[in-house]
Amino acid sequence: MGNLGQPGNGDSPAVSVHGLRKRYGDVEALSGLDLTVAPGTVHGLLGPNGAGKSTVVRILSTLTRATAGRATVAGHDVAARPDAVREAIGLAGQHAAVDEKLTGRENLRIFGRLARLGRRGARHRADDLLERFELTEAADRLVGTYSGGMRRRIDLIASLLRAPAVLFLDEPTTGLDPRSRLDIWAIVRELVAEGTTVLLTTQYLDEADQLASAVAVVDRGRVIAEGSPAELKARIGSHVDVEVGGEADLAGAVAVLERLTGGRPAVEDLRIVTGVPGRAPSVPRLVRELDAAGVAVQDVGVRRPSLDDVFLTLTGRTTGTGGADGGATGMRRHDRAKEGATA
């Protein structure tokens, strides 16, 4: 089936953002955000609710103008050449932006015609995309009867009508069940394999981990850390939780944990929590080694870093709360993060 994406031209960035600011009245949604997205990659914008992710996407897709700063998409300035930008992009936002009173196929045909594909072109493109993304069966049912996952899928497909060079996905899987989330992930992977550049916002570290080759962590309108998912996770590390059978087992368990993780175990009653820089040993290995050392174990768990852990580490705050002077902390952490990435 036809190629969906157009490869980005050469090495020039698909998206380039400098000092982007956006004010809504008293709220500063973006306060000097920088971002560079390499062509043909998935770039993740990771951040909690209200961080400014959607604002970035809205500016880049020409829905909103920035208060200050510069941004180009596919080589075109978003403020000066919005028409050229619109020719090059696809947008799938936070809701399923489709007409519920039409069928999936009708939606694609109508949007295809409004996207200047022509009547015939829109019809063929709609049929191709429906077949390719396995929505043919539901294609002639009203979108109002679709499940949440199918709605997102038809919405995503509607953003592909013009085979965009750059695709913006704003929290494409928020609120979806795990199965539907995998479906969306599969589509994104396929598109990128064909050369489409994707800027994806998400609140989930594992989503960024699964899809993105580079991640920018956004907090309060600026990027506080950047790097590959592996680099970010390595900086944050994971936690190994062990609960032993009795006081007598503590010393032996601590020794095993020190040896296996290189971290410093913290003991609290019968629980031992060990912060691990980088990769944690697997649970079976932990159980085996603790067993071999003759330690009676109640429970063993490895906690992968969540977005909350990333935040806690980078800002000293959890995602939900808004502590004082977080911005300054964020800057300092960012500097350190950069050193870490180059070291």
Partner 1 sequence: MIVLADGLTLVERKLLHLRHQPGTLVAMLVMPAVMVVLFGFVFGSAIKVPGGGNYREYLMPGLFVMTGVFALSSAMVDVATDQGRGVTDRLRSMPTARAAVPVGQTGADTVTGLFGLLILMASGLAFGWRAHHGLGHALGAIGVLLLFRYTMSWVGTYLGLIMPSAQTADALAPLTLPLSMLSNAFVPTDGMPGWLRVVCEGNPLSAAVAACRSLFGNPGAAAAGGSWPLTHPLAATLLWSAFLLAVFVPLSVRRFTRAGL
Instruction: Give the residue carrying structure tokens 């705050």.
Output: 317
Report the residue number, 31 or 313, with the smaller CB distance to ligand ADP: 31
Give the DSSP per-residue string, 121-134. Answer: HHHHHHHHHHHHTT
- Per rule CB under 5 A, count of chain residues that contact Mg ion: 1
Q: How far apart are CA 156 and CA 150, in angstroms?
A: 10
In the complex, the smallest distance separating the C-beta of residue 247 from Mg ion, rounded to whole angstroms, is 49
Cβ contacts of residue 157 below 8 Å, gap of 6+?
108, 129, 130, 133, 135
Q: How far apart are CA 73 and CA 39, in angstroms?
A: 10
> 68 forms bridges with which residues in the sheet?
21
Residues 143-162 that bind partner 1 (CB under 8 A): 158-159, 162
- Interface residue with ligand ADP among 8, 39, 52, 93 (CB under 6 A) is 52
180 binds ligand ADP (CB under 6 A): no
φ, ψ dihedrals at 56, nearest 5°: -60, -50
φ, ψ dihedrals at 118, nearest 5°: 80, 160
Q: How far apart are CA 27 and CA 257, in angstroms?
A: 47
Q: Indicate the pairing of strand 271-276 with strand 238-244.
A: antiparallel
54 binds Mg ion (CB under 5 A): yes
In the complex, the smallest distance separating the C-beta of residue 126 from partner 1, rounded to whole angstroms, is 13
- Interface residue with partner 1 among 11, 26, 83, 268 (CB under 8 A) is 83
Burial environment of residue 268 by CB neighbours within 10 A (0 to 12, 13 to 18, 19 or more): exposed
Residues 193-222 that bind partner 1 (CB under 8 A): none
In the complex, the smallest distance separating the C-beta of residue 24 from ligand ADP, rounded to whole angstroms, is 3
The answer to whether 56 and 45 have CB atoms below 8 angstroms apart is yes
95 binds ligand ADP (CB under 6 A): no
In the complex, the smallest distance separating the C-beta of residue 65 from Mg ion, rounded to whole angstroms, is 18
101 binds partner 1 (CB under 8 A): yes
Report the residue number, 95 or 264, with the smaller CB distance to partner 1: 95
Which tokens sit at 267?
């003991």
Determine the interface stretch with ligand ADP among 6-14, 44-52, 133-141, 328-336 (rule: CB under 6 A).
Answer: 44-52
Nearest to 131 by CA among 151, 104, 111: 104
Cβ contacts of residue 336 below 8 Å, gap of 6+?
none
Residues 241-280 that bind partner 1 (CB under 8 A): none
**Residue 23, number of CB atoms within 10 A of its CB:** 14
Determine the interface stretch with Mg ion among 46-54, 189-197, 278-286, 321-329 (rule: CB under 5 A).
Answer: 46-54
Binding site partner of 49, from ligand ADP, Mg ion, partner 1, none, Cβ cut-off 5-8 A by kind: ligand ADP
55 binds Mg ion (CB under 5 A): no
**208 residue type, one letter:** A
Determine the interface stretch with Mg ion among 22-30, 51-59, 227-235, 269-277 (rule: CB under 5 A).
Answer: 51-59
Q: How far apart are CA 292 and CA 277, in angstroms?
A: 24
In the complex, the smallest distance separating the C-beta of residue 28 from ligand ADP, rounded to whole angstroms, is 8
Report the residue number, 79 or 270, with the smaller CB distance to partner 1: 79
- Interface residue with ligand ADP among 15, 29, 214, 242 (CB under 6 A) is 29
The answer to whether 69 and 125 have CB atoms below 8 angstroms apart is no
26 binds partner 1 (CB under 8 A): no
Binding residues for partner 1 (CB under 8 A): 58, 61-65, 83, 86-87, 89, 91, 93-103, 106, 110-111, 113-116, 142, 158-159, 162
Binding residues for ligand ADP (CB under 6 A): 24, 27, 29, 47, 49-55
Binding residues for Mg ion (CB under 5 A): 54
